[in-house]
Amino acid sequence: MISFRIEYLLPIGLALVFFLETSSVSGQGSTAYLQLESTALKGNSIGDSPKRSVSVYLPPSYQESSHAYPVLYFLHGFTDSNEKWFGMDEHWIDLPAIMDEAMQDGSEFIVVMPNAHNTFFGSMYTNSSTTGLWEDFIAGDLVTFIDSTFRTIPEARYRGLAGHSMGGYGTAKIGMKNADVFSSLYLMSPCCLENSIPDNPGLIKNLAKVNTIEQIADQPFFVKASLAAAAAWAPNPDRPPLYLDLPSEGSVDSSLHARFAAHAIVSNVHQYREQLTGMGGIVIDVGKQDFMIRLGSEALHQELEELQIPHRYHLYEGDHTNKIGERLGSHVVPFFQHIFSQAK
């Protein structure tokens, strides 16, 4: 393995730290680890750094060729990070190894994964004054950054967007709003498609006990997830230290309900019918045993059916995580190989 590091400043003003691991084994790709400073993420109320790490998989032929490649942007899930998916931390996925095996037929593309782990353990890939403008970061700063750094084909038909869980939600949200940037979408076990305000009395009580940033890390999963959702969908720049609004015990805040509902994919997808109908392909992929996630996925499938938006819905034997690596290689990669080959 050959490694090197370069630091420089891009013309677009994004700071870059570049670390590339190049494999000397035939048939293996290279992995680049970068850092960029995003304009879209600056000035967020919670104080998260606008400097985000980005992991990039370069296919086996990239170092030896001179031609440009399509790009798949992949969004990780809640509590996850790009480092975990790219083998820098213990995880259930080794994305570069999966890509190496899946691209053996020679149909290759670049894979990009930004780090969306933040103070709340996840950004929900949503524009928010509390956590930053994540939709603008993905569809704007990140794409510009990658096109300026690597040999990409800078056209929407050669860009795909995919994600798992929170990343599946982000894929739906960002994809339907940015059909001029991404041509195809693959939602793996997407969460939060019918998101709603927390209404469990016990959960509401536990949320009210979190009064400092430092307390977030010690909370159980659903408290963390509810805080992250509120930071994304109900930001409040006038309510430190968490800068978000939450439901109160024993009261119903209709305006807060409306703010959460405005970010629900299923009830808002009709606004983007034209954009989604023009997509090169849309897939929703969920395990039969992934019960809560399955309900939202089926609801989105039915809504797309009613709107006559072409898509595929895959229901397979599995839960939220146990088949993700397998399906990346057997379904996600072939889907985008087909999409990109049809774009030629």
According to the CATH classification, is domain 2-195+269-342 in 3.90.1150.10?
no
Q: How does pLDDT run across 150-199, given as a tens digit for each residue?
A: 999 999 999 999 999 999 999 999 999 999 999 999 999 999 999 888 88
* Per-residue confidence (pLDDT) for residue 7, from 0 to 100: 46
Q: How far, CA to CA in Å, does 9 sit from each of 14, 54, 58?
A: 6, 16, 21
What are the domain boundaries of the chain?
Answer: 2-195+269-342, 201-260
> Do the Cβ atoms of 143 and 266 come closer than 8 Å?
no
Do strands 51-58 and 30-37 pair parallel, antiparallel, or not at all (unpaired)? Answer: antiparallel
Q: Is the pLDDT of residue 17 over 60?
A: yes
- Mean pLDDT value across the chain: 91
> Do the Cβ atoms of 104 and 27 come closer than 8 Å?
yes
> Do the Cβ atoms of 69 and 154 come closer than 8 Å?
no
Q: Is 271 exposed, middle or buried (0-12, 13-18, 19+ CB in 10 A)?
A: exposed
- pLDDT band at residue 1, thresholds of 50, 70 and 90? very low
Q: What is the mean pLDDT of residues 35-44?
A: 95
* Per-residue confidence (pLDDT) for residue 9, from 0 to 100: 47
Q: How does pLDDT run across 289-305, given as a tens digit for each residue?
A: 998 899 999 999 999 99
* Per-residue confidence (pLDDT) for residue 225, from 0 to 100: 96
Q: Give CA–CA dist 245/35, Å, rounded.
A: 31
SS (H, E, C) 177-191: HCCCCCCEEEEECCC
Q: How does pLDDT run across 211-259, given as a tens digit for each residue?
A: 999 999 999 999 999 999 999 999 999 999 999 999 887 666 788 999 9
Q: Is the pLDDT of residue 26 over 80?
A: no
Q: What percent of the chain clears pLDDT 90, i.e. is strictly above it?
A: 81
The pTM score is 0.94
